[in-house]
Amino acid sequence: MDLNELKLTYGDGRYKIHISALITCEGISITITGGEKPHVGGTVLSVPRKSGAGEHMSCDTWICPVPGHKDTEIAVSVAETVCRGTGQTVGVIAGIHIHKAEQRELEILVENTVEATRQLVDQIMKILEKEDA
């Protein structure tokens, strides 16, 4: 498998989310930044496994936040979504910040990240399917 890199942006202005993903032969490395102050706020690692309740894909997840940051909350969602969607080990570094954000602003950032993640999984699956062909 060749090394593949994907970059996508979703949202507008201070609600814009940037995702960069590196697809390797043994996993996916993702960086998520956005808001007014991109930074490193934490890391998450999700490893796929068969669900104990059936044939569904599940994952085990490890979380390492930077003290005082909550970026791993969205990183967990992204890592587990991509892990379950692709069956690959996924590492996520996240840093999204809007100074004194109101609740609705945080909701917009989360919504934009969810949509960007959906698009990312679609693009990754196209690459993986092409590699399998």
For the entire predicted model, the pTM comes to 0.93
In the chain, what are the domains?
4-108+116-121 (3.30.230.100)
Is 77 a residue whose pLDDT tops 90? yes
Q: What pLDDT does 16 receive?
A: 97
E strands in the chain: 4-10, 17-24, 27-35, 42-50, 57-65, 90-97
Q: Is 99 exposed, middle or buried (0-12, 13-18, 19+ CB in 10 A)?
A: exposed
Q: What pLDDT does 42 receive?
A: 97
- pLDDT 10s digits, 52-62: 777 788 999 99
Contacts of 64 (CB under 8 A, 6+ apart): 42, 43, 44, 72
